[in-house]
Amino acid sequence: MNFKVVSVHLLVCIQLFVIGVTSMSAQSITKTESLVVNFPKPDPLHFKSNEITLIDSFINSYIPPKNFQGDMIRFAKDDSTNSRTKFDVVFTGSSSFTQWKSLVADMAPVPVLNRGFGGSRILDLVCFSKNYLYKLQPKLIFVYVENDITLPSSYQIILLFRYLEQVYHSNIPKTKIIFCGLKKSISRKTHWTKVDEVNNYLKSSLSQIKYCDYLEMNTALLNKSGLPSGEFFLSDSLHLNAKGYLKWVEILKPRLKKEYDLIKRKNE
């Protein structure tokens, strides 16, 4: 059976957020023990049986992080007070987007929405997207999520990225997804080989998938020796500082403008 048909009928949600914005009181926030998560099954047309088994193992061991509930409630409240119910362009992912406080201003005049939530992993995006992403009906998504790099192998990370793309496109099938290449964080030096392997896979494969692409983000942060430059990182050697984000602006903004111009022409 086709994944894109089945997934429409499969719930990817958290029970806490079904209650809606108007009933999000302090009492509702205490219902953390009642979280229920049901993930769509990996598409057998796109995954081998052993790959499905591996993805299932990640899904079966997944526990929704309670610290993200505050982010979801904040997103919902923002949506309730925002005059716009839809956004053409959404940035989502982990703390590299969350801490980019000037992102909206940096991408102007193109209107964008920042829906990053710090500490998130790929399955967190799968789990929570029903609450903060799909209803916005974006035509373009930029995704950056780095925290899965601590998994044992790049193969596992690649499978999860493939799964995320499948789930996204089952819910918003004509949305363009641009996966931003992972940076080599100084504090995660032991994982740099995996960063290269994941980025190389994404770069070579995503162009073959409709409504999908890759954007290199790591190279601009390297010094002449090909190593990540400390001048672009905060003292934790993990997150970018203002200089680092300026480097990302130089990469992202031209691509955003190009994609947004395409969106406007399609809307005319």
Mean pLDDT of 155-174: 96
Say what the pLDDT of residue 27 is.
34
For the chain, which residues make up each domain, given as ranges? Answer: 3-267
Percentage of the chain beyond pLDDT 90 is 73
Find the mean pLDDT for residues 12-25: 33
Q: Residue 22: pLDDT above 60?
A: no
pLDDT mean over 125-137:
93
Q: What is the pLDDT of residue 112?
A: 96
Cα pseudo-dihedral 55, 58, 60, 62, rounded to 10: -140
Q: Quick one: pLDDT band at residue 37, thresholds 50, 70, 90?
A: low
Structure tokens at 66: 């309670």
pLDDT digits (tens, 9 = 90+) for 192-237: 999 999 999 999 998 789 999 999 999 999 999 999 999 999 999 9
For 82, residues 6+ apart whose C-beta sits below 8 A from its C-beta are: none
Burial (Cβ within 10 Å: 0-12, 13-18, ≥19) of residue 27: exposed
Single-letter amino acid, residue 230: G
225-253 pLDDT, tens digit per residue, is 999 999 999 999 999 999 999 999 999 99
**Model pLDDT, residue 268:** 73
Average pLDDT, integer, range 62-66? 87
Contacts of 35 (CB under 8 A, 6+ apart): 14, 15, 16, 64, 66
Which class is domain 3-267? alpha beta
Q: Which helix (H) or strand (E) holds 199?
A: helix 192-205
Query: What is the 3-class SS of 135-176, one letter each residue?
Result: HHCCCEEEEECCHHHHCCCHHHHHHHHHHHHHHHHHHCCCCE
For tokens 């959404």, what's the residue? 90
* Better-scored residue on pLDDT, 268 or 66: 66
140-154 exposure pattern, b = at least 16 Cβ within 10 A, e = fewer? bbbbbbbbbbebeeb
Q: Mean of the per-residue pLDDT values for the chain?
A: 86
Identify any residues that bridge with 176 across adjacent strands, giving them in sequence order. 140
Higher pLDDT, 81 or 103: 103
- DSSP state, residue 233: B
Report the alpha-carbon distance of residue 43 to residue 46 in Å, rounded. Answer: 5
Question: What is the DSSP secondary structure assignment for residue 85, as one 8-state letter?
Answer: S
State the helix-helix crossing angle for 69-81 and 122-132, rounded to 10 degrees: 30
**Strand pairing class (89-93; 212-215):** unpaired
